[in-house]
Amino acid sequence: MADPSPVVTGSEALDQIVQKLAGTADPKRRYEYVLWLAKKLEPLPEAFRNDAFKVKGCVSQVYVVGQLQEGKLHWQGDSDAAITKGLLALLIAGMEGLTPEQACAIDPGFITATGLQASLTPSRANGFLNILRMMQSQARLLAA
């Protein structure tokens, strides 16, 4: 298999994650990486587990919180499902430290480049997109 052409999302960290996943032919290894990311996610304070931060359209319970500090976004989140938590962790790692403008400019097309879609159920793939959209929505509100 030829080296996949690099995806340019506007986030160096996200590009690196996408390349790592895209360069992995084995779907099981991709899942292991996503689960590893989930384990690294910091616990979400109970105060943020409310409807304001809940991702709509996800089968599992997913919360994501963006905060703006010195013009850069910082993220926290959690999910009750391991794979979904890993997908959330992937987005948090990839979008940490971006400006709201950079976060809003990320094209969801990068999701296809990860190769994860082949092994995600349609509801999980949709949930992944909903998490990204929620993060971009929060970034827009924080920028305003």
pLDDT above 90 for 46? yes
pTM of the model: 0.91
The pLDDT mean for the chain works out to 91
What pLDDT is attached to residue 1? 40
- Domain membership of residue 19 (yes or no) is no
- Domain membership of residue 100 (yes or no) is yes
- Domain membership of residue 1 (yes or no) is no
Q: Which helix (H) or strand (E) holds 59?
A: none
- Domain membership of residue 21 (yes or no) is no
Name 66's bridge partners: 75
What pLDDT is attached to residue 18? 93
* Class of residue 62 by CB neighbours under 10 A (exposed 0-12, middle 13-18, buried 19+): buried
- Domain membership of residue 117 (yes or no) is yes
In percent, the amount of the chain with pLDDT more than 70 equals: 95
- Domain membership of residue 135 (yes or no) is yes
pLDDT above 90 for 120? no
Residues 6+ apart with CB under 8 A from 94: 9, 11, 13, 14, 17, 18
Determine the average pLDDT of the residues in 54-61.
90
Of residues 96, 109, 107, the one with CA closest to residue 65: 96
What pLDDT is attached to residue 7? 59
Residue 104 annotated to the active site: no
Identify the domain containing residue 130 by its residue range.
27-143
Catalytic residue among 18, 34, 41, 58: 58
- Domain membership of residue 7 (yes or no) is no
Determine the average pLDDT of the residues in 113-129.
87
Count the domains in the chain.
1
What pLDDT is attached to residue 3? 43
CATH classification at residue 77: 3.90.1010.10
Highest average pLDDT, of 5-9, 27-31, 136-140, comes from: 136-140
